[in-house]
Amino acid sequence: MPVTLLPIGHLKSMVNNQTELTVPAGISVRDALALVHIPSEVVALVVINGVHQTDKDTVLHEGDVVKLMAVIGGG
């Protein structure tokens, strides 16, 4: 069972407007982002199975659902 990534907001535009992506289990959040071509530095919020994660080196497990939100800037 793979890991499901859910890009939110403008991150969807970085993955051809896909709302759901799958990556293999056993890799880190950072590696998962690289696989789907999202630069880790633009991701401000990572929520795995409803729990906020501060470490992008967290290893993902089978069946995990990962919500990703980008850095929001303004002036």
| Residue pLDDT tens, the chain, 75 long | 899 999 999 999 999 999 999 999 999 999 999 999 999 999 999 999 999 999 999 999 999 999 999 987 666
Q: How many domains does the chain have?
A: 1
Give domain status of residue 49, yes or no. Answer: yes
75: in domain: no
Residue 16 domain-assigned (yes or no):
yes
- Spell out the residues 6+ positions from residue 55 whose beta carbon is closer than 8 angstroms to its own: 29
Q: How far is CA 55 from CA 13, 19, 22, 74, in A?
A: 24, 23, 20, 25
pTM higher than the cut 0.85: yes
The reply to whether 45 falls in a domain is: yes
Burial category of 7 from C-beta neighbours within 10 Å (exposed 0-12, middle 13-18, buried 19 and up): buried
Domain with 37 in it: 3-70
